[in-house]
Amino acid sequence: MISTETLAVACGIGSAAAWGAGDFSGGMASRKGNVLTVVLVSQLIGGLFLLGMAVFSGEAMPPVRHLMYGAFAGVFGNIGLIALYRGLSTGRMGIVAPLSAVLTALVPIGYTAVYAGLPSMTRFAGFVCFGIAVWLLSSADTGFRMTGRELLLSCIAGVGFGLFFIFIDKANDLAIFWSLVWARVASVAFLFTVVMVVGKTGTPKAGQWLFIVMSGVLDALGNLLFSTAAHLGRLDVSAVLSSLYPAATVLLAWLFLKEKLRRRQWMGVGIAFIALGLISI
């Protein structure tokens, strides 16, 4: 019989795979149209997917306090998403992507250390390997110097995603599906407000719809798997495993777009497996 801890690790790895594939699909859709349109429509589709799962599961509606935690998670997640997309579009991807991913994991690691105690030394070593792996996987040969704007946007993205992890973990004590539904309702409302302030977005083109649907469903699936992992195991372990999503994006780009992987990226893949082994012990 599979232990709860093993199942939590499996869900954490699954969330990384789903988020990485979702980012790949979203990137493909964004190549053919407005980024805000892709994000908003994919979030709506993902919300419908989560709503269907909540209704199908028969899960009871949790108290308002837990739903509010879910709403906070949705808002912070979108703040992180907007900052990340802004950073990727105006800064160097090889700096913004890995730094924000590492910070995403550091926020819940610090939170868990305060409220649940430090992890074992083996897992701590796995966390260190994780940070090295993410940087090698998603960084380009740009050096390690960064501008103030790149640092600021990376920090906002990392803290936003990290707070999403924390609030979803607080929300899912009594219900997993409905907490995610409310997180998505809040995120869509927040995005719609941003769209109204920023201006027009446009209508998705025919060639975008498949990738938009895939992005929305995979992102929602990643949220569901992460929430399950955090519910079953430690938040810091779930956050670290989930933050390995750049590996899935990079590997899919190599497989389908024939993008070449540099030696440092292959090293990142190897170190990622070492990190998984250490964290899973």
pLDDT digits (tens, 9 = 90+) for 15-45: 999 988 888 888 788 777 677 788 888 899 9
Task: Please indicate, yes or no, if residue 253 is contained in any of the structural domains.
Answer: no
Domain containing residue 151: 4-109+147-246
Taken in order 209, 210, 213, 218, the sign of the CA dihedral is negative
Give the C-alpha separation, 118 to 130, whole Å: 17
| Ramachandran region, residue 202 (left: φ > 0; alpha: ψ -120 to 50; beta: rest) | left
Task: Please indicate, yes or no, if residue 199 is contained in any of the structural domains.
Answer: yes
Structure tokens belonging to residue 15 = 């969330």
Model confidence at 143: pLDDT above 60? no
pLDDT digits (tens, 9 = 90+) for 161-182: 999 999 999 998 888 999 999 9
pTM (two decimals): 0.87
CB 247 within 8 A of CB 268: yes
What per-residue confidence (pLDDT) applies to 235? Answer: 92
Structural domains of the chain, count: 1
Task: Please indicate, yes or no, if residue 175 is contained in any of the structural domains.
Answer: yes
Task: Please indicate, yes or no, if residue 140 is contained in any of the structural domains.
Answer: no
CB 19 within 8 A of CB 242: yes
Task: Please indicate, yes or no, if residue 13 is contained in any of the structural domains.
Answer: yes
Task: Please indicate, yes or no, if residue 43 is contained in any of the structural domains.
Answer: yes
